Amino acid sequence: MFFKSLDLTTALRPLLLPDEILLFVQDAVGLYDGKYKIQNYQNGHAYLTSHRVCYVAAEDPRKYSVAIDLKEIDRVDSQAGFLKSSPKITIYPKPQKKKTDKSRSATASPAVAQQSALHPTHSLSHLPQTNLPQSSPSLKPINATWICPICSFSNPVPSNFDPATATAAINLPPCLACGIKPPFTTVLKAAISAVTSRESQSLNSVPSPAVAQDTGQPNVNASQSPVGPGGTVSCPRCTFVNHPYLAECEICGAPLSAGSSANANRVDSPAPLFEQSHIANTEVSESIKLSFRAGGDKTFHERLKGALVQRKWLLQNAPPVPSPSQGASSPGLPSPAASVENPLPSAPRSSGVGIAGLERRGLEARRKNELVIGNAFEDLEALMASAKQIVALAETLARESGMTTNESSPETSAVLSESAAALGMVTTKDMLSSGSESLYLSELARDLAEYLTDDRKGILQREGGIMSLIDLWAVFNRSRNGVELASPSDFQKAAELWEKLKLPVRLRRFKSGLLVVQRYDWSDEKTIEKLQAWMEELRRVPPSDPVPWDLSLFGRAVTAQEAAHRFKWSVGVAAEELEMAEDRGVLCREEGIEGLRFWRNYISSPEYNDISRLAI
C-alpha cells in the first residue's frame, strides 16, 4: 500500500475522481505510520471518499496531503481513546497481489505503479517508475521457501516462478526431501508472502538500497533476526549464529538478513525515515493510524467499513453494460486484463463500426437513461411522501400553538421557525459528525469556493468576477438539484469563513450592506482603474447624438445599467461599485429625470479647478 500524492482543488480539498463520492470529513486528525507519528502530518482534515482515505494538512496543504486507496486496505481496527490518547483507527494494507497492481496501474490515479515497489530504490524516488509492470517481478528471482505439507522440509521456490503469471499448469519441481510434488497454492502463498515481507523490508532499509539489492532480499523474519555481538547474525529459521558476511544460513540455507546496517539505522532514529519532505508515494509499512483528536472516529470507522464493503471503486473499472457482443468482439485478448487496461466506460471498446455501432450505443445510452430516470422518480416519490408528513406535522404544530395563545405570539413563531430550520438542516449535516457546526461550515465554504472557481462552470467569470451572495446562493442551491440545500444563514456564515481559510474568493460588504462574492485578488483599486479607463474611452468616442456639454472635457455619464452591461456585473453590483468609486472621489453623480448617472469627477479634480478660477 502506498501513500499516494493527492491533487487538491482550489479550495484545498481532495480532487475527486469521476465516480468518487465524499462520504465523511473530520478535522483535527493526525497520521501515524505504524506506531510513529509522521512529522508535518499531525493536524489536518481526513476525507473519506468512496475510493480513498485522504489526509489534507491544515497548514501547507499543497505540500502535506496524501491519500490511500481503499482497495488496498485489508482491514481496519478502531481503538478507543484512553486518558490522553486520542481514539485511533488503524488501517492494515492488503498483502501485495499482482492482480491489484495491474488494475491500479490502469486507473487514472496519479500514484506510481505499485509493483515497482519491488525495486528497493523506489522508496527514495518520487518519480514514477519506468519499469514495465510485468518485467519487474520476473527480473529478480524470488528468494522464498515453501514448506512441504508431507515432510515439512523447507524447499526454495523455483526462481522462474512468478506469482503474477503463474498458473496451476506450470510444472513445479518436487520436494527435495520426499519427492512429492507440492500443491500449487502452497508455492503461490509462499511466493506472495516472500514478496510482501520484502516490500516492508525495503521500506525499513531505505538508507542502503544498494546493499539490500546486492545481498538479496531478507525474508519475513529477517528483520527481527537478532544481531549478535561482533556482528554475527543468527538465522531466523534455525537460530544458528552465522558469520555476518554470509548471505545464507550455513545449516539450513535460509537467507539471512544482510541489512544489519539497516536495522541499526532503524534503532538510531525511531521515527520513520521518510519524514523529511513529504510521504507521498512512499509505502506503508505495516499499518497506518489516524488519530482523531476532535472525535468523529466512530462515524469515520463506520463509514470506512461501509465503503470497504460497498467497493465503489470496482465501478470505475467495470464495463458499463455487460453485453454479449463485447466478449465476441475481442476474443483474442485475455478478458480480465483487457477490461482493466481500458477502465473508462466511455472508451469505445466495441468493434461495431458505422451505423450499427452508433445505433447500438444510442440504444445503450437510452436504456441507461431510462434506468436513471426511473430511479430518480422513485426517490422523488419517497421525498414527496415524507414531505407530506412534514407539512402535516408543521401544520399541527401551528394549530396547537394557535389554540393555546389564540394569536401567534412571537415566541411560538420563533420556535416554529427554529424547528423548521432544524428539519431543513438534518440532511445537509448528514455527511459530518453531529455537533461539529464549524466543520460543516468550513466544508461548505470550501465547497462554495470550489464551485466558484471551477473553470468549467466559470460562475465568477460570467458575472464579471463579482456577484452578489444572494445570486450565488440561488445558483448554488439550484446546482445541487434540490438535495442538501444550504440554508441562507449557514451560507452566509460559510462565506464569512473564506478569508480565514485562505480560499481564493472573498466576501465583501458594500456600504449599503449588500454582500458580494469576488476573487481574492480583486480590489477596489482595480475596479476604479477599469472604470477610469472606460470613462476615458467614452470621452474619446463621440456619441451619435450631439450633447450640450463639452464632450472632450467631460465625456459622458454612465448609469448602473450601462456599467453592468459593460463589465457583465449584475445591476446591483454595478450600482454599488459606482458608488464605491464615487465614495473615493473618482466619480460624481448627476440626478436627473433620466435617473442617476455617474460622471468622472470634474468637480474636485484640481486641473479643472484652475480653469474655473481663471474665469472668475
Q: From CA 258, how far away is CA 246, in angstroms rounded?
A: 8
Which of residues 196 and 601 has its CB atom nearest to another protein in the complex?
A: 601
**Cα 530 to chain centroid, rounded:** 38
Work out how close the CB of 534 gets to another protein at its nearest, in angstroms, rounded to a whole number.
Answer: 16
Q: From CA 438, how far away is CA 400, in angstroms rounded?
A: 34
Which of residues 510 and 554 has its CB atom nearest to another protein in the complex?
A: 554
Which of residues 355 and 615 has its CB atom nearest to another protein in the complex?
A: 615
* CB proximity list for 517: less than 8 A, separation 6 or greater: 452, 460, 466, 467, 468, 469, 472, 495, 505, 506, 507, 508
Which of residues 172 and 558 has its CB atom nearest to another protein in the complex?
A: 558
Q: From CA 425, how far away is CA 432, in angstroms rounded?
A: 12
Q: Which amino acid would we find at residue 270?
A: P
Work out how close the CB of 572 gets to another protein at its nearest, in angstroms, rounded to a whole number.
Answer: 18
* CB proximity list for 175: less than 8 A, separation 6 or greater: 148, 150, 151, 153, 155, 181, 182
* CB proximity list for 309: less than 8 A, separation 6 or greater: none
Which of residues 455 and 591 has its CB atom nearest to another protein in the complex?
A: 591
Work out how close the CB of 601 gets to another protein at its nearest, in angstroms, rounded to a whole number.
Answer: 6
Q: From CA 72, how far away is CA 74, in angstroms rounded?
A: 6
Which of residues 521 and 591 has its CB atom nearest to another protein in the complex?
A: 591
For 46, the grid coordinates are 481526513
Which of residues 21 and 553 has its CB atom nearest to another protein in the complex?
A: 553
Which of residues 191 and 557 has its CB atom nearest to another protein in the complex?
A: 557
Q: From CA 505, how far away is CA 453, in angstroms rounded?
A: 8
Q: From CA 469, how far away is CA 288, in angstroms rounded?
A: 42
Work out how close the CB of 562 gets to another protein at its nearest, in angstroms, rounded to a whole number.
Answer: 15
The DSSP symbol for 463 reads T
Work out how close the CB of 591 gets to another protein at its nearest, in angstroms, rounded to a whole number.
Answer: 5
User: Helices marked H in 550-605 — which ranges?
Assistant: 551-554, 560-567, 571-583
Q: Which amino acid would we find at residue 508?
A: R
Work out how close the CB of 573 gets to another protein at its nearest, in angstroms, rounded to a whole number.
Answer: 19
Q: What 3 state SS string does 210-240 have? A: HHHHHCCCCCCCHHHCCECHHHCEECCCCCC
Work out how close the CB of 541 gets to another protein at its nearest, in angstroms, rounded to a whole number.
Answer: 18
Distances (CA, A) of 467 to 267, 288, 463, 489, 492: 59, 44, 6, 18, 14
Work out how close the CB of 595 gets to another protein at its nearest, in angstroms, rounded to a whole number.
Answer: 12
Binding site for another protein (CB under 8 A): 548-550, 553-554, 557, 582-583, 585, 588-592, 597, 599, 601-604, 608-609, 611-613, 615-616
Which of residues 106 and 574 has its CB atom nearest to another protein in the complex?
A: 574
* CB proximity list for 142: less than 8 A, separation 6 or greater: 157, 159, 161, 162, 163, 191, 194, 195
Work out how close the CB of 466 gets to another protein at its nearest, in angstroms, rounded to a whole number.
Answer: 22
Which of residues 84 and 540 has its CB atom nearest to another protein in the complex?
A: 540
H or E segment at 45?
strand 44-49
Work out how close the CB of 599 gets to another protein at its nearest, in angstroms, rounded to a whole number.
Answer: 4
Work out how close the CB of 545 gets to another protein at its nearest, in angstroms, rounded to a whole number.
Answer: 14
Phi-psi region of 153 (alpha: psi -120 to 50; beta: other; left: phi over 0): beta
Which of residues 475 and 588 has its CB atom nearest to another protein in the complex?
A: 588
